[in-house]
Structure formats: C-alpha cells, structure tokens
Amino acid sequence: MQENVTSTESVLEELIRMTTSGDRNREERDRKREGTKSDELGSDGTPLEVENGTNGAIDDVQQELDELVAEVEGTLPIEDVSLDEALIKENLEEVLLLLVALRGETHGKELLSDLSRLFDANLSPGTVYPSLHDLEEEDVLSMHAKVQTKEYSIADDEYVRETVEETMVQHLSFGLLLYAFLTRF
C-alpha cells in the first residue's frame, strides 16, 4: 500500500510541476502573442491591429490545447491521450469553460467547431447551447449580444477555477482508485 501512496505523491508532485511550468509557459505565450501583432492602416488611415496569420485565434487555441495534451502525455505512461465523446459530454460545462477561457470571448458556433475539431466530439447545438445558457444564468459566463450572434466570456473566474479544480480532483481520485486496483489484480 505504501507504493500507492508514493505513486499518488509523485503524480501530485508532477501536477504541481505542470501547473508551475504552465504559468511560465502561459506568460511566455502571452508575450509572443503581443509580439505577433502588426500595425496596418485602415481605409481611413488610422492604425489597425491585425494578428498575423489567417486563423490566429483558432491557431492559438489549437496550439494551447496541443501543449496541454503534450504535458499530460509527458506525465502519463501512455503513448496517446484520447478523450471519449461520452466523457466530453459528461464534463461539457468544464470543457466549455476551458474553451471560453482560452478564447477570451467566443460564440456557440465556434465552440461547437472547437468541440468537433479539438476533441472529436460531434455534439448537437441542443446539447451545447443549454449548457451555455445555464452557465450564463448562474453568472459564470457573461453574454454580449452582437448583430447576428451572442458572444460569451468568463464572468466568474473564481467559480471557473474551483469547478475545474473539483472536477480534476474527482477524475484523479477515480484514476488513482483504478490504478490501485490494477496493482493488486
């Protein structure tokens, strides 16, 4: 049993290391993003800030998620991390909060596209939009009506952090329980 305690401690130490290095990586990415913007003049001669690349925001989110998955793969003794669509559906609110937080501000169609492209989860609007509306009603997300869409952003950073952390602990606990079982099997 002591072996499992040691394994648990090493996993938690690795998570702490990931969090610390993640903060440093996030700061570095933010500095790089600020450096990837160039000034161009609009038709009226006023400066416009335009991000280099055709899919800047999509590429940033994809790169950020790729880096997160790489950190997980580097920690876990497996070759490829894939998430089952049912798992994404069961944790939809947390995944939506993650995507909205990464984007800063986004709309439902973009989130549906992210879910499909990044997690291979083809969820219907009838599944995603009610979750967005619930999060808005709970004042976790704020909604800004645009001309043809609604943009969502994080309204309660503390709630998001606590919710994601609670879900993480539950999944880790369950994973460690399964690991403890496998060591006896």
List, for residues 17-64, the tens digit of each pLDDT value.
655 655 555 556 555 545 544 444 444 444 444 343 445 666 777 788
Is 159 domain-assigned?
A: yes
Is 157 domain-assigned?
A: yes
Tens digits of per-residue pLDDT, 58-115? 677 778 877 877 777 777 666 666 778 899 999 999 999 999 998 888 888 999 998 9
- Which residue range(s) make up the domain with 140? 83-184
Number of domains in the chain: 1
For the chain, what is the HEC assignment?
A: CHHHHHHHHHHHHHHHHHHHHHHHHHHHHHHHHHHCEEEEECCCCCEEEEECCCCHHHHHHHHHHHHHHHHHHHHCCCCCCCCCHHHHHHCHHHHHHHHHHHHCCEEHHHHHHHHHHHHCCCCCHHHHHHHHHHHHHCCCEEEEECCCCEEEEECCHHHHHHHHHHHHHHHHHHHHHHHHHHHHC
Is 29 domain-assigned?
A: no
Is 30 domain-assigned?
A: no
Is 130 domain-assigned?
A: yes
Is 34 domain-assigned?
A: no
pLDDT at 179 > cutoff 50: yes
Question: What pLDDT, on a 0 to 100 scale, did the predictor assign at position 146?
Answer: 80
Is 100 domain-assigned?
A: yes
